[in-house]
Amino acid sequence: MASPLPSRFGDLPLLIGGHAVPSQSDQWLPVHSPLDQRLLARVPCATGDEVELAIQSAAEAQRSWSQVPAPERARVMMRFAHLLKEHHDELAELLAQETGKTLADAKGDVWRGIEVVEQASGVASQMMGETLGNVARGVDGHSWMQPLGVCAGITPFNFPAMIPLWMFPLAIACGNGFVLKPSEQDPLTPMRLAELFKEAGAPDGILSVIHGKGEQVDRLLTHPLIKAVSFVGSARVGAHVYRTATQHLKRAQCFVGAKNHMVILPDANKSQVLSNLVGAGVGAAGQRCMAISVAVFVGAARDWIPELAEAFRAVRPGPWNDEGAAYGPLISQGAKARVAGLIEAGVREGAECLVDGRSVEVPGYPEGNWMGPTLFRGVTTEMGLYREEIFGPVLACMEVESLEQAIALINANPYGNGTSLFTGSGAAARHFRHEVAVGQVGINVPIPVPLPFFSFTGWRGSFYGDLHAYGKQAVRFYTETKTVTERWFDDESAVGPNLTITLR
């Protein structure tokens, strides 16, 4: 059993030089419980001097860490993965308290992060270079993958365990230092991850954690010691991060907006379609970049929409420790107001609201950021419901006559994060996965998030950059290649006066 969590976590420190450092900031942000607006903690906006110290600390630690043999760095990741598993339930409860996620969802958040740390434990084989003997007469060629220096990560509220664990373990396993700026809305879980990382044997300073908002992010993006930036968040902020980082000659990978479509053919298994649509549409309160927000019914499959509406009406949100709750509250009052506004706009623009979740109530939590499951029909591409990433438990139903029309609809959307097709036809599935212009495709799988030995590969307006998260692409992102061309002479004039070489 996990130990009881405190009801108030106090003022959060920064992590600099391997130590918790009280911030001298005069600007603090409240961390509120999404369930009841209770104050959980206060988080500082790090001062300029504190950000500088965090970066310098990571840079100093990186100089010696980069010389540690790759197998030894991997063993730190193995110990870290072990500690994360030991503290899995504790982390999940902490995460659930500050995000509002159900406990089952929070456990999944933690576990998907652990899987990436396990991947980082194999860094030695992933960093192996290439060798070719006799690229010319008597000349050999080699390539080595070496660390960049100090990297930075800017992570969102919706996965406060998984997404930081996408970033800093792989970057550090590759020999880099790292500065993490987690979301100010739920910083407790990332701080606990950092504590466990230190306990696993990570050297002091190799991971710094700072807190804040835009000002602190910009300091990271413009600092000359930061060589690469990883970001997950909104399209608007992601565009700023990418432009600023690249203008300052840094590598950047920015995972941003999404509008994920699930296509349903009439030959699909109806019960599987309905249950998967409900889970993919409202799970985690729709606050995930791989949520299905558009269901595209092809031909006669449109007849299933009334049954989908009944399934939506049966779903209820609730607190994190309610085993019967399908999902929890939205992260903030502002998020709730935004989702409610988009629902209102959809009604005003003429979409048919089959299930309206705006008036949902959860007994005992009148102040919670609740939004009930919401289902629309008759949505068109001109409506805000379709154009905007809602990030709430809202599903828009659209109807087309053919698979080709469904593919054309998806490919015309500016985003290309994830998509899925439900069908019983192998030929249709093959055609879909070849023709759809989306980076992550599921066949009878609603949310096709790849396991970490692949990479998270959003396309088009869902990703700014060249190399994606985790897997082999992340190792390439966090390293640079050195090519060595080598020749040794075999005549005695090349031998120093105190050396003897016998050639045979």
pLDDT tens digits, 18-68: 999 999 999 999 999 999 999 999 999 999 999 999 999 999 999 999 999
Of 3.40.605.10, 1.10.3720.10, 3.40.50.620, 1.10.287.70, the CATH number of 10-256+466-484 is 3.40.605.10
Q: Give the C-alpha separation, 302 to 325, whole Å.
A: 28
Catalytic residue (choose from 45, 151, 289, 397):
289
Residues of each domain in the chain carrying CATH 3.40.309.10? 261-443
Q: Which CATH class is domain 261-443?
A: alpha beta
Residues of each domain in the chain carrying CATH 3.40.605.10? 10-256+466-484
Q: Give the C-alpha separation, 272 to 295, whole Å.
A: 14
Provide Rg for the chain, Cα atoms.
25
Q: List phi, psi (to 5°) of 41.
A: -165, 175
| Whether residue 174 lies in the annotated active site | no
User: pLDDT by residue for the chain (504 residues), tens digit each?
Assistant: 344 555 567 899 999 999 999 999 999 999 999 999 999 999 999 999 999 999 999 999 999 999 999 999 999 999 999 999 999 999 999 999 999 999 999 999 999 999 999 999 999 899 898 999 999 999 999 999 999 999 999 999 999 999 999 999 999 999 999 999 999 999 999 999 999 999 999 999 999 999 999 999 999 999 999 999 999 999 999 999 999 999 999 999 999 999 999 999 999 999 999 999 999 999 999 999 999 999 999 999 999 999 999 999 999 999 999 999 999 999 999 999 999 999 999 999 999 999 999 999 999 999 999 999 999 999 999 999 999 999 999 999 999 999 999 999 999 999 998 999 999 999 999 999 999 999 989 999 998 888 888 888 888 999 999 989 888 899 999 999 999 999 998 765 555 555 555 544
pTM for the model: 0.92
Per the prediction, the chain carries an average pLDDT of 93
Helices (H) and strands (E) in the chain, counts: 16, 22
pLDDT the model gives residue 499: 56
Closest C-alpha to 285, from 415, 155, 394: 394
Token pair of 212 as six digits: 């804040």
